Amino acid sequence: MGDLSSLWPYLALLLVGVLPNEAWRILGITVGRSLDEKSEPFVWLKAVATGLLAAVIAQLVLSPPGQLASLPISVRLGATLAGFLGFLLLRRSTLAGLLIGVGALVFPG
């Protein structure tokens, strides 16, 4: 039998990181089943989340951090547009929009 003291970091990660997260996830699933997607509070919450996402994307495009700032604004805007069009054309697939947008940034020509 090995030294059990080397397992304490993993146990701590499980107790402090994973289990509390799973409790909230299970609670969210349980409560979420009874929510009506068309209720006014839920529509408002979706609007706020969409607005925050749009603000983050705008900040990344217009005031980018790190290496992204070395790309011209036209490339950043073009990649954003390409990703959005990919999202719309491929049945509103978030993954497709993301991959197309990143591909347009990596291969701008």
pLDDT greater than 60 at residue 1: no
* Domain, as residue range, for 84: 58-109
Residue 101: CB partners within 8 Å, gap ≥ 6? 79, 80, 82, 83, 84, 86
Does 84 fall in a domain? yes
Q: What is the pLDDT of residue 2?
A: 60
Does 105 fall in a domain? yes
Q: What is the pLDDT of residue 34?
A: 84
Give CA–CA dist 26/29, Å, rounded: 5
Does 6 fall in a domain? no
Does 4 fall in a domain? no
Judge contact between 68 and 85, C-beta under 8 A: no
pLDDT greater than 70 at residue 52: yes
Residue 57 backbone phi and psi in degrees, to 5: -65, -45
Does 29 fall in a domain? no
User: Mind listing the pLDDT tens digit for each residue in 66-93?
Assistant: 999 999 999 999 999 999 999 999 999 9
- CA distances (Å), origin 45, targets 32, 35, 48: 13, 12, 5
First vs last Cα of the chain: how many Å apart?
58
User: Mind listing the pLDDT tens digit for each residue in 2-50?
Assistant: 677 788 888 888 888 888 889 889 998 998 888 888 999 889 988 999 9
Given the structure tokens 């547009």, which residue do they identify?
81
Does 83 fall in a domain? yes
Q: Is 101 exposed, middle or buried (0-12, 13-18, 19+ CB in 10 A)?
A: buried
pLDDT greater than 90 at residue 61: yes
Number of domains in the chain: 1
* Average pLDDT of the segment spanning 92-98: 92
pTM: 0.64
Does 104 fall in a domain? yes
Does 48 fall in a domain? no
